[in-house]
Amino acid sequence: MSSLALPAIASFNSELYWGGPTSPPDYILQARIGNIDFAGIAIDMVDVSNQTSTAHRMLGTLLKSGDLNFDIYLEPAQTQDTELFELILTAPPALQQWKVVLASAVDGSALIFNGYLSKFPIKADIGKALITTGTITIDDSITFVPGMGSD
């Protein structure tokens, strides 16, 4: 029996772009990101069974897109990092357009969505890289664009 070769694509060189509040967006590279953790997509389910049902009847209702978490190695004096700081410090927060390009040098598939940069905690341990694990809380749905590459 032969085995199916399954190549893996490293997430190295994934990129976070900010589209701002404009339409259509003019995406600007904000950071190279890693350790991407997307909470995934779920659907709220409602039990619509009644007394005449012979089994549970389920109805899918609203889509829940979840949060997107990622690591950024910071260079605070750089323009793109300054823009990210300004977004998180904006009160009240503004809904922004985002694009995450996965493995831009190899695959370049992208996730495009609207969301709030909702968390931006900074870790500054002695002897380690200055890092933040950012969180974007996604509003509405996500568009997946296969192999579009980097802008």
| Domain regions of the chain by residue span | 14-45+58-145
Calculate mean pLDDT across residues 65-89: 81
Higher per-residue pLDDT: 85 or 70:
70
Look up residue 83 and give its DSSP letter: H
Give 4's pLDDT tier (boundaries 50, 70, 90).
low
At residue 9, does pLDDT exceed 60?
Answer: yes
Calculate mean pLDDT across residues 64-73: 90
Calculate mean pLDDT across residues 63-90: 81
The reported pLDDT for the residue numbered 52 is 94
Sign of the CA dihedral with 48 first, then 54, 56, and 57 last:
negative
The reported pLDDT for the residue numbered 150 is 46
Q: Which residues are CB-contacts of 56 (< 8 A; sequence separation ≥ 6)?
A: 47, 49
* Domain 14-45+58-145 class in CATH: few secondary structures
Q: Which residues are CB-contacts of 27 (< 8 A; sequence separation ≥ 6)?
A: 17, 18, 19, 97, 99, 151
Give 11's pLDDT tier (boundaries 50, 70, 90).
low
Higher per-residue pLDDT: 124 or 6:
124
Give 10's pLDDT tier (boundaries 50, 70, 90).
low
Give the SS3 label for residue 94: coil
At residue 149, does pLDDT exceed 80?
Answer: no
What is the pTM assigned to this prediction? Answer: 0.78
Give 107's pLDDT tier (boundaries 50, 70, 90).
confident
